[in-house]
Structure 1
Amino acid sequence: MKKANLMVVGTSSGAGKSLFVTALCRIFYKDKYKVSPFKSQNMALNSYITKDGKEMGRAQVVQAEASGLEPEVEMNPILLKPSSMNKIQIIVSGKSIGNMSGVEYNQYKKNLIPVLKETYSKIEAKNDIVIIEGAGSPAEINIKEEDISNFAMARIADAPVILVADIDRGGVFASIYGTIMLLKEEDRKRVKGIIINKFRGNKEVLKPGFEIIENLTGVKTLGVIPYADIDIEDEDSLSEKYKSFKLNKNSNKIKVSVIKLKHISNVTDIDALSIHKDVEIQFVSERSQIGDEDLIIIPGSKNTIDDLKWLKESGIAEETIKKARTKTIIFGICGGFQILGNKVKDPHHIEGDIEELNGLGLLDLETTMENEKTLIQYRGKLIAEKGLLKSLNDLEIKGYEIHQGLTEGNEKNLTSDNRTVLVNKNNIIATYLHGIFDNKDFTNNLLNEIRRRKGLEEVNSNISYEEYKIQEFDKLEKLVRENIDIEEIYKIIGLK
């Protein structure tokens, strides 16, 4: 069968590239093609560990799931994780090659073009269709020569291009025209279609604009995607989904406060909680927001020590300790786990200049930052004969670990491992496992413990988070099929 590919770029960050790529992956998968996502370079603090212990961006994990594929690092060969001191951690083919400043990386990244060519050829060889996602805007004229994420990748793959534009921000036709006209002529010729995204209202009012923009650019509009309530994981913590709002004190729902750390990472760990209808979640960045919750979550961090320092300076640490004394459940994940201990030590200055900082002291543990990262998918059994998790004794749990530190101390580990993975002391639960709430029985048990405390009826969700995601993928597929000219896209990629 003939190989096909397509690149999706956007007029800006947040235009909807990732979601549209996910939709196309789902459509082609349902049409019985073997389809894979690919993004040459991703900048995000939401990452994932593959079965072979490689680190990649979660956006391509979601797209792989929509494609019915096991995520593999070739789908995202370069991952950039903003760190401390104006540095970026550079992850190539799933492993860190160190930290660089933005200027240093811009000078270095052309050396990675052979990596992109090699990894793309591997993905292409294994699939019928490859959907390539760009990054940011392809028309940033000040850095266009250094760009390896957009049309440089389209040239490597010899791919036609579709441009996605966000109408919700306003100025959609100007952004379409400006983006296309700022491209080099050879790149402009690759643009074969325009998608208008996030529209609210009557699409008929846009039709005169379609004709004008096609006359100006020579590119046809392939459809308009309406704003819709579809719950698919966002690429990073800047999403509207993770903006702060105030908990409703008068509701009888389970109230969850997630501490929005300065260097918050893998915030997607929280998504599996949000599918429960009687759970409401707020993201907390000020001390005054804490006070009426049943559960406080300290999530992952790309810089544990700096976030711990901020927690203390903001007063959120003090409020969290007060809430712990009132039997509110405090839950730490990864960096949040480290923060709950007595100390965090950084003798090798991995995170910055501070060599040691006292933690919140809610767990009798200490963490020492080490040069080597722990990168593994995890599967193990809970050993919990007492405490909040005792009803889950012998339950198999799974997740993945991405952390720099080694945590040791006097708290009993509750898994069948000889290292600290998950602990529970009174109302404090902490774990290194990302994806912990994806474990249906674990989450049902935790939420039912809170319901019992509140005098509410217990609920046991019958749908797993994996099943929920598939439902949402299918909703997205239906929405895009109904509003986009998919037959024209098949013609663009040369399959019809």
Structure 2
Amino acid sequence: MTQLRALMIQGTSSDAGKSLLCTGLCRIFQEDGVRVAPFKSQNMALNSYITRDGGEIGRAQGVQAEACGVEATVDMNPILLKPKAEMSSEVIVHGKHFADLDAYSYRNEYVPLMIPKIQESIDRLAQQYDLLVVEGAGSPAEINLKDRDIANMRIADMLDCPVLLVADIERGGVFASLVGTLELLEPHERARVKGFLINKFRGRKELLDSGLQWLEERTGIPVLGVIPHFDHGIDPEDSLALETLRLKARDRADADLDIAVIKLPRISNFTDVAPLQEEPGVNVRFVSSARALGKPDLILLPGSKNTVDDLLWLQQTGLAEAILARQAAVVGICGGFQMLGDVLHDPDGVESVHPQVAGLGLLPLETTFLAEKKTVRNRGRLLAASFQEHEVEGYEIHLGRTERRAGSAFLQFESGEEDGAVSADGRVFGTYLHGLFQNRAFTRDFLNSLRVQKGFAPLTGEIETESERREKSYAALAAHLRRHVDVERMYRIIGGTACLGLSER
């Protein structure tokens, strides 16, 4: 086995494109025959991924593992922070709940305890892989946070690896952000920065060349690539990426179906929405007020990190009343599913200070919140005849136990356990299964049923599977990066191809 090598991607800001670039680099190295895996020591995200053994990690590392062609493990993201309330988060360590902590306590009391956990993960990954593509978090130059930063330069020191610094040119001030970040680093940290990547470029590169020349002369660090903006179709991760999804949801003149997604204040696993945006003839809108709801064909209540507080928000904003007055179909996923029931019980204060809250009453359900979280991948068969008994798969992440008092379950898992509920007319249903709409054949048939109800003809033609779509996206992203990034120089920065067990390129 060769010695473990690593290449770290850090950014001048959040949402500079670190996750996506790491995904593309993972696929490049995988295509080149490298035993490669992703790594992010500490992630903060509400969009998570469930490993095969039921561990919870950041979705970006799950996606990156897919790009590497390997099974995701909790060691690829040993610490996950999931914002839960104002200034507090659920802390997940090696895939399992550790504690709910406020930011001050975590930073000052618990961060030192996390460093051995990170090292344990690195040591285990070193037994299986020759290269880690390491993603930083935010910026490495946050002066007020640096003494407790366990996601950037401290990790580069632990791995003794080079760093590539990424800047988002769409934000403006790209040269100032790169030079300013360097100026705020310690000398030994600056020495680790071996290249720049300028991301999300639009326009003619020759207009940028004089600035690139100045940057290289000013810093002595090469620009390894100017990467044009790319519509990649790969799952986003954080709240800034959610804004990108919202902007992507634009009115389509040719749309025959209008879908309103309720933009809950504490929305989580929002990538459940993405497959709907990719369907032809569908307009998807994110809605946060009763006035904006309009008259959609489908209302989607997504997952929530705090179902009770988001349900109270629905009631306070008038959205609950507007949803109940709808003529649209209604779908709830996870927290949204819990909201569709008659009542939510929280006797132990797991989610809020409210021991009992009335739900929307659209399905005959009662939910009781439990301290122990359920995290599992699952597959099963839809039960309602109107859904043509599709086979579907996805994952569950939830604290509640929901009991259906009457009516039909939505699906039955392979274990025999039933999940969800569906109304007698099939117009309202809910499920704990995230990723439901990534089952593309079901999604097309479900949307076609709404079309037929409106008097439109159903869409026909071959439907690409989710795995086929994702593989095409990874390959296209890798090809895009190969065109615009000096991959050969990147290999030399890592230590050459021979250090990775490859013949010289």
TM-score, structure 2 length as denominator?
A: 0.93
Distance in 2 separating the partners of 1:127 and 1:469: 23
1:289 correspondence with 2:292: yes
Superposition map of 1:43-54 within 5 A: 43-54=44-55
Superimposed CA distance per residue, residues 217-253 of structure 1 (whole angstroms, 9 cap, x where no aligned partner): 2211111001122222111233233326886486443
Distance in 2 separating the partners of 1:257 and 1:174: 40
Seen in structure 2, the aligned counterparts of structure 1 residues 169 and 250 have a Cα distance that, compared at 3 Å, is closer
Paired residue for 1:490?
491
Paired residue for 2:97?
96
Seen in structure 2, the aligned counterparts of structure 1 residues 113 and 398 have a Cα distance that, compared at 3 Å, is same
Contact 1:407 1:420 in 2 (8 A): no
Distance in 2 separating the partners of 1:198 and 1:246: 19
Paired residue for 1:12?
13
Q: Match for 1:423: what amino acid? A: A
User: 2:319 is matched with which residue: 308, 316, 321?
Assistant: 316
User: 2:207 is matched with which residue: 197, 205, 218?
Assistant: 205
- Following superposition, the deviation at residue 410 of structure 1 comes to 2.1
Paired residue for 1:412?
408
Superposition map of 1:222-371 within 5 A: 222-239=224-241, 240-243=243-246, 248=251, 251-323=254-326, 326=327, 328-371=328-371
Report the count of equivalent residues: 488
Paired residue for 1:439?
439
Contact 1:397 1:439 in 2 (8 A): yes
Distance in 1 separating the partners of 2:399 and 2:113: 27
Secondary structure (helix, strand or coil) at the match of 1:126 reads coil
Contact 2:276 2:282 in 1 (8 A): yes
Q: Match for 1:308: what amino acid? A: L
Distance in 1 separating the partners of 2:485 and 2:56: 34
Seen in structure 2, the aligned counterparts of structure 1 residues 320 and 145 have a Cα distance that, compared at 3 Å, is same
Contact 2:410 2:429 in 1 (8 A): no
User: 2:116 is matched with which residue: 107, 114, 117?
Assistant: 114
Contact 1:23 1:477 in 2 (8 A): yes
Distance in 1 separating the partners of 2:177 and 2:250: 37
- Following superposition, the deviation at residue 68 of structure 1 comes to 1.1
Superimposed CA distance per residue, residues 296-344 of structure 1 (whole angstroms, 9 cap, x where no aligned partner): 1000000000000000111111111111xx2x21000000000000011
Q: Match for 2:219: what amino acid? A: T
Superimposed CA distance per residue, residues 396-429 of structure 1 (whole angstroms, 9 cap, x where no aligned partner): 2211110000001223224336655122102101
Q: Structure 1, unaligned stretches of length 5 or more?
A: none
Range 336-345 or range 125-134, more displaced: 125-134
Q: Match for 1:459: what amino acid? A: L
Paired residue for 2:197?
195
1:401 correspondence with 2:404: no
Superposition map of 1:457-472 within 5 A: 457-460=457-460, 461-472=462-473
- Following superposition, the deviation at residue 379 of structure 1 comes to 1.6
- Following superposition, the deviation at residue 356 of structure 1 comes to 0.9
Identity across the alignment (%): 45
Secondary structure (helix, strand or coil) at the match of 1:405 reads strand
Q: Match for 2:21: what amino acid? A: F
Q: Match for 1:97: what amino acid? A: F
Distance in 1 separating the partners of 2:432 and 2:480: 37
1:422 correspondence with 2:417: no
Secondary structure (helix, strand or coil) at the match of 1:174 reads helix
Distance in 1 separating the partners of 2:90 and 2:158: 25
User: 2:174 is matched with which residue: 164, 172, 177?
Assistant: 172
Range 311-320 or range 412-421, more displaced: 412-421
Range 59-68 or range 130-139, more displaced: 59-68
Contact 1:244 1:284 in 2 (8 A): no
Distance in 1 separating the partners of 2:166 and 2:290: 39
Distance in 2 separating the partners of 1:380 and 1:94: 24
Paired residue for 2:41?
40
- Following superposition, the deviation at residue 102 of structure 1 comes to 0.5
- Following superposition, the deviation at residue 468 of structure 1 comes to 1.2
Q: Match for 1:196: what amino acid? A: I
- Following superposition, the deviation at residue 71 of structure 1 comes to 1.5
Distance in 1 separating the partners of 2:128 and 2:258: 46
Q: Match for 1:68: what amino acid? A: G
Secondary structure (helix, strand or coil) at the match of 2:240 reads coil
Q: Match for 1:399: what amino acid? A: G
Q: Match for 1:92: what amino acid? A: V
Seen in structure 2, the aligned counterparts of structure 1 residues 23 and 454 have a Cα distance that, compared at 3 Å, is same
Seen in structure 2, the aligned counterparts of structure 1 residues 177 and 26 have a Cα distance that, compared at 3 Å, is same
Contact 2:380 2:391 in 1 (8 A): yes
Distance in 1 separating the partners of 2:474 and 2:13: 24
Distance in 1 separating the partners of 2:251 and 2:480: 32
- Following superposition, the deviation at residue 85 of structure 1 comes to 4.5
Range 172-181 or range 232-241, more displaced: 232-241
TM-score, structure 1 length as denominator?
A: 0.95
Secondary structure (helix, strand or coil) at the match of 1:341 reads coil
Distance in 2 separating the partners of 1:437 and 1:464: 11
Q: Match for 2:170: what amino acid? A: D
Distance in 2 separating the partners of 1:477 and 1:310: 42
Secondary structure (helix, strand or coil) at the match of 1:83 reads strand
Distance in 1 separating the partners of 2:86 and 2:34: 45
Distance in 2 separating the partners of 1:249 and 1:464: 24
- Following superposition, the deviation at residue 362 of structure 1 comes to 0.2
- Following superposition, the deviation at residue 2 of structure 1 comes to 4.7
Paired residue for 1:374?
374
Distance in 2 separating the partners of 1:88 and 1:429: 30
Seen in structure 2, the aligned counterparts of structure 1 residues 313 and 246 have a Cα distance that, compared at 3 Å, is farther
Contact 1:58 1:235 in 2 (8 A): yes
Distance in 2 separating the partners of 1:403 and 1:412: 21
Superposition map of 1:40-79 within 5 A: 40-79=41-80
Paired residue for 1:452?
452
